[in-house]
Amino acid sequence: MKISYKKLWKLLIDREISKGDFRKLTGISSSTSSKLNRGESVNTDVLLRICAALRCDTSDIMEVVFEDTKETADIHGDDTNIQGNEE
């Protein structure tokens, strides 16, 4: 499982906001911006600052990406797939 910020970058493009302007608007550091570029985890406060600045929801800027259905089953602590059927 990993986090994708592709929605954030698309939103910035759609709103014609450069990454530099994005950092100024949100007050995030260049190292935090780099973490977002690499798809790494960032503090929840950072996500909330981004959402406040862009007037959006967290689901508008990020999503959880599952590598496969086995990973989903491991999270739930069982051997079922996404539909709940036994494998």
pLDDT tens profile 8-20: 999 999 999 999 9
What's the pLDDT at 20? 95
Q: Which residue has the higher pLDDT, 68 or 26?
A: 26
Rounded CA gap, 85 and 41, in Å? Answer: 31
Q: Which tens digit of pLDDT belongs to each residue from 49-59?
A: 999 999 999 99
Residue 74 has pLDDT above 80, yes or no: no
Rounded CA gap, 71 and 56, in Å? Answer: 29
Q: At what angle do helices 19-26 and 30-38 cross, to 10 degrees?
A: 120
- pLDDT-derived band at 68 (thresholds 50, 70, 90) equals confident
Indicate the CATH number for domain 2-76.
1.10.260.40
Domain boundaries, the chain: 2-76
pTM, rounded to two decimals: 0.74
Residue 55's SS3 state is: coil
Residue with token string 């493009």: 13
Q: Of 74, 59, 65, 68, whose CA–CA distance to 8 is shortest?
A: 59
Cβ-based neighbours of 31, under 8 Å, separated by 6 or more: none
Q: Which tens digit of pLDDT belongs to each residue from 17-44?
A: 999 999 999 999 999 999 999 999 999 9
